[in-house]
Chains A and B, each alone.
Chain A
Amino acid sequence: MQELDTAGLGSVRVTRQSDTVVILEKDLATEQMVLAMGPQHPSTHGVLKLECLTDGEVITQAEPYLGYLHRCFEKCCENVDYPAVVPYTDRLDYLAGMNSEFAYAITVEKLLDIEIPRRVEFIRVIVAELNRIASHLVAIGTYGIDLGAFTPFLFCFRDREIILGLLEWASGARMLYNYIWVGGLAYDVPADFLKRVKEFVDYFRPKTVELCELLTKNEIFVKRTLGIGIMPADVAINYGWSGPMLRGSGVKWDLRRNDPYSIYPELDFKVPVPDGKDSVIGDCLSRHLVRAWEMDESLKIIEQCIDKMPSAEGFNSRSAIPKRIRPKAGEVYGRAENPRGELGFYIESDGKSTKPLRCKARSSCFVNLSAMKDLSMGQLIPDLVAIIGSIDIVLGEVDR
Chain B
Amino acid sequence: MSEYFGNIKTGAVTIATGMGITLKHFFNAIHRKGDAGLDDVDYFRQVDGLCTLQYPREVIPTPANARYRLYNKIEDCIGCGQCVRACPISCIEMETIKVAPDDLAVCGKTSDGQQKKFWVPVFDIDVAKCMTCGICTTVCPTECLYHTPVADFSEFDRSNMLYHFGNLTRLEAEAKRRKLAEIQAKALADKEKKAAEAKLEKKDGE
Contact = CB atoms under 8 A, between A and B. Distances in A.
Touch between chains A and B, by CB atoms below 8 Å: yes
Interface of A: 76, 80, 83-84, 86-88, 151, 158, 161-162, 165-166, 168-169, 172-173, 176, 178, 186-187, 190, 192, 196, 199-200, 202-203, 210, 213-215, 217-220
Contacts of A162: 38, 47
B39 A161 contact: no
B140 to A, nearest CB: 14
Contact of B38 (A83, A84, A87, A196): A196
Contacts of A196: 38, 43-44
Interface of B: 7, 10-11, 14-15, 17-18, 21-22, 37-39, 41, 43-44, 47, 51, 60, 62-63, 65-67, 86, 88, 131-135, 138, 147
A191 B61 CA distance: 18
A190 to B, nearest CB: 7
Contact of B135 (A87, A190, A213, A218): A87
Given A87-B133, A161-B51, 4 more contacts: A84-B86, A162-B47, A213-B21, A214-B18
Contact of B133 (A151, A176, A214): A176
B65 A178 contact: no
B67 A190 contact: no
Contacts of A83: 135
Given A84-B86, A151-B22, A219-B15, A172 B135 contact: no
13 contacts: A83-B135, A88-B88, A162-B38, A169-B39, A169-B63, A176-B133, A192-B39, A196-B43, A196-B44, A200-B44, A203-B44, A214-B22, A219-B10
A214 B63 CA distance: 33
Nearest to A158: B51
A219 B133 CA distance: 45
A127 to B, nearest CB: 14
A353 to B, nearest CB: 15
A219 B134 contact: no
A54 B63 CA distance: 51
A173 B11 contact: no
A186 B134 contact: yes
Given A168-B63, A190-B39, A220 B21 contact: no
A158 B60 CA distance: 13
B165 to A, nearest CB: 21
Contact of A213 (B18, B44, B133): B18
Given A158-B51, A219-B10, A173 B132 contact: yes
Contacts of B63: 168-169, 172, 190
Contacts of A151: 22
A102 to B, nearest CB: 16
A84 B47 contact: no
Contacts of A200: 44
Contact of B65 (A80, A190, A210, A217): A190
B10 A203 contact: no
A76 B21 CA distance: 48
A129 to B, nearest CB: 17
A178 B43 contact: no
Given A173-B132, A199-B44, A217-B17, A165 B60 contact: yes
B66 to A, nearest CB: 5
A173 B70 CA distance: 13
Given A172-B147, A218-B18, A84 B88 contact: yes
A219 B44 contact: no
Query: Which of A80, A168, A210: most chain B CB closer than 10 A?
Result: A168
Given A84-B135, A190-B39, A219-B11, A168 B44 contact: no
A213 B88 contact: no
B147 to A, nearest CB: 7
A173 B14 contact: no
A178 B131 CA distance: 10
A199 B46 CA distance: 12
A218 B37 CA distance: 35
Query: Which of B17, B22, B37, B47: most chain A CB closer than 10 A?
Result: B47
A324 to B, nearest CB: 12
B43 A219 contact: no
Contacts of B10: 219
A168 B66 contact: yes
Contact of B21 (A178, A192, A214): A214
B88 A87 contact: yes
A187 B65 CA distance: 10
B51 A220 contact: no
A172 B146 CA distance: 12
A215 B22 CA distance: 11
A187 B67 CA distance: 12
A219 B138 CA distance: 53
A388 B41 CA distance: 41
A220 B15 contact: yes
B14 A172 contact: no
A80 B88 contact: yes
B47 A203 contact: yes
B135 A166 contact: no
A21 B49 CA distance: 49
